[in-house]
Chains A and B, each alone.
Chain A
Amino acid sequence: MNPKLKLEQLNIHFGSSHAVKDVSLEFPANTVTAIIGPSGCGKSTVLRSINRMHDLTPSARVTGRVLLDDADIYDRKVDPVAVRRRIGMVFQKANPFPAMSIYDNVISGYKLNGRVNKSTMDEIVESSLKRVALWDEVKDRLKSSAMALSGGQQQRLCIARTVAVQPEVILMDEPCSALDPIATLKIEELIDELKEQYTVVIVTHNMQQAARVSDFTAFLYLGELIEFDVTKKIFTNPAQTRTEDYITGRFG
């Protein structure tokens, strides 16, 4: 099976610092892949290169190839805006638009496609909120501010907003690090459901989380890919001693 997403010899520099070194990875469709590693290992940097978020940082330079369905998203002819519509992203800290209602937040990305009629929007808002198991909690107050929601609800709202755009890949950058255990559990269950429709890549510093939610795990250390394998294997029988040292808590 062809991978949905493929990194080939990915190198990322910020000014003179070499943050990501020769990383090659493959993400099969409809799977969850976790990227783990200690702080500063470049895991978020790798993730953000997959939907060209580094384009916004003038000092960043990305070389190598990122293939989505065998097409290089860093090709000259590719529009980063089009890439981001196919590859959505959820951030560490929930970032709903504060001046918008719950409803408007969910539909904000979808509306960028052009004019849509009210009934289509209603349908998309409902299905997206149901998808993230938020519908029952908010269906009576869709017009109230998104800021009235709890942290976990806000994060699920952000996922709903991403899902509403109907991307193919969803990137998650430590989506639970600001949440309590119950909210975290809800998001983790959600990730498991999301992979039926999407290819998910999640960065986490929580190894239990990686073990719980992912099918594959990549371990990054100091900008290099140390090991990439089926999650079960990484956590039970890693090939590299550095991986073992990290997952057993000897450093990191």
Chain B
Amino acid sequence: MSDRVSVAMTDRRVIKGDTIFKGIILALASSIILILLIMIFEMVKESLPAIQKFGGRFLIGREWDAVQGEFGALDFLYGSVLSSLLAILLATPLSVGAALFITDIAPRKVGNFIAPVVELLAAIPSVIYGLWGVLVMAPWLQQSIQPWLVEHLGFLPFFQGAPYGVSMMAAVFILMIMIIPIITSITKEVLLAVPVSQKEAAYALGATRWEMVRLSLIPYARSGVLGAVILGLGRAIGETMAVTMVIGNTPQISLSLLAPGYTMPSVIANEFAETTSKLHASALMEVGLILLVVTLIINVMARLLIWSVTRGDTGARA
């Protein structure tokens, strides 16, 4: 018996196998970081001509002229940030409401039916959303919603101008629909993770269903919900295809949601195949770099936000 133990403890093959396994795992893990670093390096390298030529002007410049060789990305930055923020603003209450309905309000059978349907929305390719947006939603906006807005709320700067259909508003709606599934499904998981004891605590005090949501679910789940919203924002800001199809692709900064706009991913997708000069390609690369940086900033801010909200409580973390 003791012989067998001592053999096993000095078995070279076991120790060697472990070392090899460790090496493979380490290589796989570090390759992810390596790929990210290479990508950033390449993007910076390719953007250098544009960075050197325009410097800070690139960020605040509004001229985008491939013929004159003058590039400024502010209009795209504005389009991306505005469309994503508005989409998040609209999608968050809808998604949280849907998640609450699925987990705590609807009869279990109904919830079990709705949840996969909502998740199915996430599986639809974005080009389909875009196609639907441009063929169905945009005409509908142009014929009914936008004229109504112009007529009744036209005194606000947000609803002025001619209704084109394809517009910032169309992009916001498409993005909203596209990020609802991800926010809903993560929020649903977060809500399901709230311990039953927390819900019972509220009910036992004589809470109604809404009061239970307020006392138990929201405080316990808020950091997770915030995480879900950030993921949605990340998806919205990077979304290319559907937005490109409905936003109108006109570089401009307009307060009116009826006016067309342009986003960073859209300009890259539209112009990359037909760049006219080295500088043009480099400018597009710099737009990509800005997009990357904006996404990183959003993520860092989200982490800080979640950290500051959850400090001191032991609720679920994202």
Contacts and interface: CB of A to CB of B under 8 A. Distances in A.
Interface of A: 51, 53, 56, 58, 81-82, 84-85, 88-89, 91, 93, 95-100, 108-109, 112, 145, 147, 158, 161-162, 165
30 contacts: A51-B204, A53-B200, A56-B203, A81-B206, A81-B208, A84-B205, A84-B207, A85-B206, A88-B205, A89-B204, A91-B200, A91-B201, A93-B197, A95-B198, A95-B200, A97-B198, A97-B219, A98-B198, A98-B219, A98-B220, A98-B313, A98-B314, A99-B222, A108-B215, A109-B207, A112-B206, A145-B312, A158-B201, A162-B204, A165-B205
Interface string B182-215: 0000000000000101111111111110010001
Greatest chain A CB density within 10 A among B108, B198, B200 is at: B200
B216 interface: yes
B17 interface: no
A92 B312 CA distance: 24
Contact of B313 (A81, A93, A112, A145): A145
Contacts of B197: 91, 93, 95
- By Cβ-Cβ distance, the 3 closest A-B pairs, closest first, are A109-B205, A85-B206, A99-B219
A238 B165 CA distance: 83
A88 B107 CA distance: 26
A95 B202 CA distance: 10
Most buried by B among A58, A81, A158: A81
B315 interface: yes
B219 A56 contact: no
Contacts of A158: 201
Main secondary structure of the interface of A (DSSP, over half): mixed
Interface of B: 107-108, 195, 197-208, 211, 215-216, 219-220, 222, 312-315
Contacts of B215: 97, 108
A99 B313 contact: yes
A98 B205 contact: no
Contact of B203 (A53, A93, A108): A53
A95 B199 CA distance: 9
Of listed B200, B206, B208, B215, residue having the most chain A CB within 10 A: B206
Given A81-B206, A99-B219, 19 more contacts: A56-B199, A56-B200, A84-B207, A85-B205, A85-B206, A89-B200, A93-B197, A95-B197, A97-B219, A98-B219, A98-B313, A99-B220, A108-B215, A109-B206, A145-B313, A147-B313, A158-B201, A165-B205, A165-B206
Contact of A147 (B107, B206, B208, B314): B314
Contacts of A88: 204-205
Contact of B205 (A56, A82, A99, A161): A161
A85 to B, nearest CB: 3
A84 B314 CA distance: 27
Given A58-B108, A145-B313, A147-B314, A97 B201 contact: yes
B105 to A, nearest CB: 12
